[in-house]
Amino acid sequence: MERVPCTDLAPVDAILARYPREEPSLIQVLQDVQRAYNYLPCEALERVAGELGVPLAKVFSVATFYKAFSLNPQGRTIIKVCTGTACHIRGASQLIEEVQRRLDIGPGETTGDMAFSLQTVNCVGACAMAPVVIVGEKYVGAAKATTLATYLDRGE
């Protein structure tokens, strides 16, 4: 595994201050760290392990088990293509291909300029608007390959 160095752990300490120093806080803390950094820096995991009194191996195990966490820095805009059943039968795979074609990244990958990351999500619960793509915070319902292009502008 390649480490991406991270020196500023002040956000991690601020997050830790909000939770009891115990194992049940682990996933909650990691959620917030993921949100703060857009990924889980190794140094942050080490700090969290030390402060919560959870072995580092357990922290790493949790960080790799749950899909909400990523150990690699994510792009500034995260494109989540929902692959729930309703989205699947209404053409989610075509949307993934469209993003792949336009950005040259596959699911789980990030563009070289760190502008975009592509992720697939197993159902975001917006099935009535299938197929759904979430660009950053915006939900795009009834998404079409042809209309997706407008959201993939690097100028945004």
Partner 1 sequence: MRIESHQQFDAAVEAARAAKLSKGREVWVCCGTGCLANGSRAVAKAFDERIEAEGLQASLGLYHKTTGCHGFCERGPLVVIQPEGLLYTKVKVTDVPEILEKTVRNGEAIPRLQYKDPVTKQAVAKYEDIPFYKHQIRVSMRNIGRVDPEDLDDALAHGAYSGLAKALFAMTPDQVIAEIEASGLRGRGGAGFATARKWKACRKAKGERKFVLCNGDEGDPGAFKDRSIMEGDPHSVIEGMIIGAYAIGAHEGYLYVRDEYPLAVVNLGKAIEAARLRGLLGANILGSGFDFDLRISRGGGAFVCGESSALMRSIEGRTGEPRAKYVHASDKGLFDLPTNLNNVETWSDVGAIIANGGAWFAGWGTPKSKGTKAFSLVGKVKNTGLIELPMGTTLRHIIEDIGGGILKDRPFKAVQTGGPSGGCLPADQLDLPVDYEVLSENGSMMGSGGMIVMDDRTCMVDVARYFLKFLCEESCGKCVPCREGLKQMLHIFEDLCAGRGRPGDIERIERLCHAMQLGSLCELGKSAPNPVLSTLRYFRHEYEAHIQDRACPAGMCRDLTAYEIVEEPCTGCHQCTRVCPTDAISGKPKQKHVIDPAKCISCGSCFDVCPEDCIRFFPKNGSKEAANAHADH
Partner 2 sequence: MPTLTIDGKTVHAPHGTFLLAACRAAGIEIPTLCEHPAVEPYGGCRLCVVDVTRPEWNGWNKMVVACLFPVEDGIIVDTRSERVLETRRVVLDLLLARCPETPLIQALAGSYGVTKTSFVLNPEPTDCILCGLCTRICDRMGISAISSVDRGAGREIAPPFKEPPPDCVGCLACAEICPTNHIRYEASDGRRRIWGKDFEMLRCPRCGRAHITVAQADFFAGKNGVPRSYFETCDACKRKELAATATKLAGGASTPAVEQGTR
Cα distance between residue 36 and residue 34, in whole Å: 6
Name the segment binding partner 1 (CB under 8 A); options: 3-11, 38-46, 90-98, 109-117. 90-98
User: Which amino acid is present at 92?
Assistant: A
Q: In this chain, which of 8, 18, 85, 112 binds partner 1, going by CB under 8 A?
A: 85
Q: Min. distance of Cβ 49 from partner 2 in angstroms?
A: 8
58 is a site residue for partner 2 (CB under 8 A): yes
1 is a site residue for partner 1 (CB under 8 A): no
Cα distance between residue 60 and residue 41, in whole Å: 11
55 is a site residue for partner 2 (CB under 8 A): yes
Q: Which residues contact 25 (CB under 8 A, 6 or more apart)?
A: 19, 52
Nearest to 67 by CA among 126, 124, 132: 124
Kindly tell me which of 64 and 85 has the beta carbon lying closer to partner 2: 64
Judge whether 69 and 35 are in contact, CB under 8 Å: no
Name the segment binding partner 2 (CB under 8 A); options: 54-62, 84-92, 111-119, 141-149. 54-62
7 is a site residue for partner 2 (CB under 8 A): no
**Prior bond of 131 cis (ω within 30°):** yes
Q: In the structure encoding, which two tokens stand for residue 120, read together?
A: 């697939």
Torsional sign, CA 47, 50, 53, 56: positive
* Residue window 60-99: x/- pattern of binding to partner 2, with contact defined by CB under 8 A: xx--xx----------------------------------
Chain residues in the site for partner 2 (CB under 8 A): 1, 3, 42, 45, 55-61, 64-65
